[in-house]
Each structure stands twice: as structure tokens, then as C-alpha cells.
Structure 1
Amino acid sequence: MNKRERFYAAVAGEPVDRPPLSVWMHFVTPYMDGQQAAERHCEFFRQYDWDLAKAVSDYRHPMPDGMETIETAADMGRITVQSMDHPTYANQIALLNGIRAELGEDWPVIDTTFDPIQQILRHAGFSTMQIILDNPEAAKPMLEAATETVILYMRELEKNGVDGVFYSTRAAAQEDCVQGFTQDAFEELMRPYDLAILEETKGVVRMLHACKSHLDLERVADYPHEVLSWAAHDKTCPTIAEMRPRTDKCIMAGIDQARVIEQSRPEIRHDIDEALAVTGGQNFILAPGCTFGSNAPAHVLDTIAEYGRDWKAA
């Protein structure tokens, strides 16, 4: 199978020669334009021959002129819908188009984006989360603006032929998690906006990434998605074995991104074996539970790439 055939078969739960394999990391690219960032990504994809060309998102949702962070509830009202001409979005589209031009049609191109609260706080700083939680009514126009901006961006991705979107949301993170949400806050400040974006994204493969720890995956079980990703090795999260009977979606997991940088080759292979034993390598994408650290040593990446590609379905 080529990479495109393997990816779409895995997503659909159809037989594959082996599960698709993907690892991603940040390349410190915000100072680059989209084409330069595409070249950096493609070097990494080709070096390890990953099955998915998954781009990271280093360009941040802009803040209003003269505003560095959110200091008051009133500040949230200054954040408005953004044009797709803004460099944040234009550069990311150029990055994705550059990857496609460089790698061709047989390599699935996946973008990464974030829930509306993350869109804002990844620039304003996560220390401002409490202002949102304390002032939900004042936060809603800001979240609506961020949601509309992401929806506009999703339409651009579909027009540009992107295969999938890795949608990172912290909606499933409970209040025991740093930057997690109570059930009430989830229902009011996360769920409506996530659903609006994911409904709009139905033209591509929706890869729902439940980010962080202390996850209640039942919160997002009815979110529209084709692929489910989470940190399955985190002791506060469900395991792959626990989730396989609970979802018919393609599972994307198997590599412990928190420990893998310090793991031996046999330990990495053991984790891969466990994931494949549970899933049979079907309806499954072998991948980390979140972004790899850019300090990952070559032998770690080599082991994942080589061992993952050597596996064959029975």
C-alpha cells in the first residue's frame, strides 16, 4: 500500500499491510515564512519516512495592536475575528501547500489546530485562564470570534486539499489537571465551540486529540471525529486496552511521548508491541500521545521508524 491508501484504510477500519506511522515535533519555525517551514518539515518526513506529513502549528492567533495579554475581563472583548490574509494563517497555508508540492499526492498532509481557548492563550499566556473561568459571559464573544476564525481557516484547508486536521482540545481534561475544566466549565466554555468547529471540518479526516492529563474521554465521545488521539501511557488517562471496546474510531497512540526520549530501544519496541497486540494493527495509527520534544535522539526516532515499518499484519 502507498501512504495515502494505508492512511485512509486505517481510518476506515479496513485491512492494512501495517498501521500508518507518524511522529511530529516543533522546529522553531515562527521566524520562517511558510515555504521555509515546509522545507524543514519535509526534511524530517523524508528522513524517517513517516506515513503522515503532519505539520505543527507555530504561528499564533494574533493579539490586538498594543495588547500583550489578557489582564481584565474587558480585554477579552478586544479579540475579534481574524482575516485569512493575516500571516498567522497565510504562512500556515503556505507551509501546507509547500509540503504537498514537495511530497506529492500519495503522502497524506495533516494540519494541526487548537480549540478556541488554546487559540487565545497560546499567545496571551495560560496564566490568564482564570480570567476566562471567572468571567464566562465576558469570554463568550471572544470565544465566538476565535471559533469563527478557526472555521474560516478550516474552509481554507479544505479548499487547499489537506487530508486531515489534528484538532487539539483540552475539553476532556478534568479539574484535577492543570488548566483542566469542571464539568460546568466544559459545557459552557468548550463543548459548543468545539462542536461548531468539528462540524465545519467534516470535509477532511478529523483527528480529535484529547490533550493533557486526567482525561474523561466520555466528555468528547460524541464529538464528530474519525480518529481519536490521547496520551494513553499517562497513568491518569485510559489505556488503549480500555478504550478499544469503547470506541469504533481509529485510535492514534502507542508511543509514550513523555518517556520515550529516555527509553532504550527494547523499551520502545515493547510499547509498540503492546499497542499492536491490543489493536491487531487495524483501525490504528502508531503515533505518540502528543508532540515529541525536539531533543529526541536519533536512535529513538530510528527505532520507532524501523520497528513500526517492519510490522506486518497476520
Structure 2
Amino acid sequence: MTTKRERFLKAARGERVDRPPVGAWIHYGSSFWTPAQVAEAHLRFYRQYDWDFIKVMDDFRLVLPDGLEEITDPAQFEGIVPDPAVSLPNLEKQAEVLTIIRAEAPEAAIIDTIFSPTQTLVRALGETVIDYFKADPALAHRTTARVAEALAKYAASLAGLGVDGIFLAINGASTDATSFGLSHQQFHEWIEPYDIQVLEAAEGLVRIGHLHGEGADPDLLGNYPFEVLNWSDKVSRPTIEETRPTYGWVPMVGMDEINSLYWTPSKAREELLAARKAAGDALIVAPNCTLHSDGSPLLLTALRDSVDLPLE
């Protein structure tokens, strides 16, 4: 009998399985919770819907120097992760969450979420980070390099915690506001190399690239070392059909994270079956991005049950 963990790992390698693995994720608003509370929320969600994998959300923000709320002087960036060799408190908490989940759900595949180094900074300090970086690319490199080193060190430790994969959220390759108006040149110069550093550190795990945003360009990720692509296929390339043949990535896709809030269960099943057919059932069935936390439980049940439906 195929276990949930085996099913996920085989599918991520492009191997045939008894049915596609399925899972979902939401934000729990847990940035101020204890690791035990965060783990419990994930485990409840996992058990309620009988997912194959647990994607652990990364809601603990980078800890800032005392008294710093936002950058008002470029010199303040030097105090952000001044020594990347020192363990970061937010990552220590995340590691504790992962340890608890692995002990409580040994049968499940576990995926840890890591935001790209630049997005890690934006999540902690706000979008003005990008303005400072555009004005001083050398500052962007110095600061992002330190964050990337800390994240890479953390990514390299995940296998020892029993984690099966990482989900790297990639910002900067789309045409909407989530890419902060970055040009392709800026993306290649001070986004791409640091994302790749983190992914390379996670070699041996299933590496999932999340191409975030509308109008995203998968061709910008040609040098990224990951095996699975998660993206909003209705508003960005590639199509599900071309993902594997053209790029070599296993698609992790199926449920529109925006419009599904108003779907009926039958609509959800229709869309999910269409995604399975488009991929020839060689996919991981999942939301295209984080689902609304107030979405209908009936839709989540439809998502889980969709992998048990026969393809016509």
C-alpha cells in the first residue's frame, strides 16, 4: 500500500502513482503564536481533510533590531541579519514547528515554505525596501546576500528535521504589483542568484518553485534548480499541458486561489478534473497559491475528493 509520503515523493519525481497526491494551505494568522500552537493548527487542518502533504506556512517574520520598525536611512540595512552564521529566531521557531509536525504525522509528506531572500526583507520591512535597492544595487546585493546565506543554511538543515520538500515563493517575475515594478534585468541581477543559492542548499529535497503573481514569465526561471512548479495557471504561463514537456517541471496546480472562493463544490470538481486531464494525471493537485482562510469547507472537501474521481 502506498503511503502518503511515498505518493508525494513519487509524483514529485514524475513517477506514476495510484492517484495524484493532494493538499492545500491557508494562512492561520499565526505570526505571534507559539510553535506548538502553529503546529497544532497545521495538524488539525491536515487531519480534517486527509491531505497527503502538509505545507507548513512561514508566518514568523524576520526579527528586526530593537526599535526598528521601518527603514528610514540606508545605513539601517547593515543591522539586518548582520551575521548570517548566527541562527535567526524566526527560523528557530519554524524548525520547532516542523519537528512537532513530523513527530505527530510520520505518514505525511512535509513541505516547508521559504520566501525568497528579497521577499523575506519586504515582508519584514515593507515595500520601500525595493525603492532603496533600486537606488543602490550594491546595497541590494550586500543585504540580500546576508539573508540568502542565512536561509541557505536553514534550507540545508531541513532534511535532518524530516522535511521532504521546500516551497520557495518567487517574487519579481510577474507583471502585477507583487513584483514591485522590477525589470527583467533587476530580477536576474539581485533576485535570481540568491533564490538559486537557497534552492541549491536544499538539494536532495523536493524543490517546489512558486511563480507568484499575474503575467508571470516562467522563462525567467530557466536557471532555477527545482523539480515542481506551483503557479496561477489561469493568469500566467505556462499552460498545464506544456509544463512538463517544455520545462521539465511537475505541475502542482488545480484550484484557482482567487475565484474558487465563490465556486460551488461541483464547479471545484469540474476545474480540478480538468487540471488532472491537462496533466495526464501526472501532477500534484493543490491550490495555485494560498487559499482564502474563510473559504467554504465544502470546497476543501471537493478538492480532497477530486483525486479519487475517475478520469473520463
**TM-score bucket (shorter structure):** over 0.9
| Aligned residue runs from structure 1 range 46-57, under 5 A | 46-57=47-58
Separation in 2 of the partners of 1:31 and 1:198?
A: 27
CA contact (8 A) 1:171 1:220 kept: no
Instruction: Please state how far the C-alpha of 1:266 moved relative to its aligned partner.
Output: 2.0
Query: What secondary structure, in the 3-state scheme, does the structure 2 residue paired with 1:109 have?
Result: strand
CA contact (8 A) 1:280 1:313 kept: no
Separation in 1 of the partners of 2:181 and 2:252?
A: 22
CA contact (8 A) 1:171 1:219 kept: no
CA contact (8 A) 1:83 1:149 kept: yes
Residue-by-residue CA offset, 1:261-309 (whole Å, 9 max, x unaligned): 1111222112112111111211x1011111111111111111111222x
Query: What secondary structure, in the 3-state scheme, does the structure 2 residue paired with 1:254 have?
Result: strand
Tell me what 2:301 maps to.
302
**What is the Cα-based RMSD across aligned positions, in Å?**
1.8
Give the letter aligned to residue 90 of structure 2: T
CA contact (8 A) 2:153 2:201 kept: no
Separation in 2 of the partners of 1:237 and 1:270?
A: 21
Tell me what 2:228 maps to.
227
Query: What secondary structure, in the 3-state scheme, does the structure 2 residue paired with 1:31 have?
Result: coil
Instruction: Please state how far the C-alpha of 1:183 moved relative to its aligned partner.
Output: 1.3
Tell me what 1:58 maps to.
59
Separation in 2 of the partners of 1:171 and 1:147?
A: 16
CA contact (8 A) 2:277 2:311 kept: no
What TM-score, normalized by structure 1, do the two folds share?
Answer: 0.93
1:123 aligns with 2:121: no
Instruction: Please state how far the C-alpha of 1:110 moved relative to its aligned partner.
Output: 0.8
Separation in 1 of the partners of 2:30 and 2:166?
A: 19
Tell me what 2:247 maps to.
247
Query: Percent identity at matched positions?
Result: 33
Give the letter aligned to residue 21 of structure 2: P
Give the letter aligned to residue 239 of structure 1: T
Give the letter aligned to residue 174 of structure 2: A
Separation in 1 of the partners of 2:88 and 2:275?
A: 41
Tell me what 2:102 maps to.
100
> Which one is further off, 159-168 or 68-77?
68-77
Tell me what 1:69 maps to.
70
Separation in 2 of the partners of 1:45 and 1:102?
A: 11
CA contact (8 A) 2:206 2:227 kept: yes
Give the letter aligned to residue 161 of structure 2: N
Tell me what 2:258 maps to.
258
Residue-by-residue CA offset, 1:215-265 (whole Å, 9 max, x unaligned): 11011023101111111122x443213434312221101110111111112
CA contact (8 A) 2:171 2:178 kept: no
Q: Which structure 2 residue ranges, 5 or more long, are not aligned?
A: none
Give the letter aligned to residue 105 of structure 2: L
Instruction: Please state how far the C-alpha of 1:108 moved relative to its aligned partner.
Output: 0.8
| Aligned residue runs from structure 1 range 87-236, under 5 A | 87-104=89-106, 106-174=107-175, 178-234=179-235, 236=236
Give the letter aligned to residue 125 of structure 1: G
Structure 1 165/180 Cα, relative in aligned 2: closer, same or farther at 3 Å? farther
Structure 1 99/313 Cα, relative in aligned 2: closer, same or farther at 3 Å? farther
CA contact (8 A) 1:25 1:293 kept: yes
Separation in 2 of the partners of 1:75 and 1:173?
A: 29
CA contact (8 A) 2:32 2:60 kept: no
CA contact (8 A) 2:233 2:288 kept: yes
Give the letter aligned to residue 52 of structure 1: F
Separation in 2 of the partners of 1:84 and 1:54?
A: 26
Q: Which structure 1 residue ranges, 5 or more long, are not aligned?
A: none
Instruction: Please state how far the C-alpha of 1:74 moved relative to its aligned partner.
Output: 2.2
Query: What secondary structure, in the 3-state scheme, does the structure 2 residue paired with 1:305 have?
Result: helix
Query: What secondary structure, in the 3-state scheme, does the structure 2 residue paired with 1:77 have?
Result: helix
CA contact (8 A) 2:174 2:212 kept: yes
Tell me what 1:311 maps to.
309
Structure 1 230/81 Cα, relative in aligned 2: closer, same or farther at 3 Å? farther
Query: What secondary structure, in the 3-state scheme, does the structure 1 residue paired with 2:143 have?
Result: helix
Separation in 1 of the partners of 2:154 and 2:87?
A: 10
Tell me what 1:12 maps to.
13
Give the letter aligned to residue 299 of structure 2: V
Give the letter aligned to residue 168 of structure 1: A
Instruction: Say how many residue pairs are matched.
Output: 310
CA contact (8 A) 2:175 2:213 kept: no
Instruction: Please state how far the C-alpha of 1:85 moved relative to its aligned partner.
Output: 4.5
Separation in 1 of the partners of 2:179 and 2:95?
A: 32
Query: What secondary structure, in the 3-state scheme, does the structure 1 residue paired with 2:79 have?
Result: coil
Separation in 1 of the partners of 2:256 and 2:309?
A: 18
Separation in 2 of the partners of 1:157 and 1:9?
A: 19
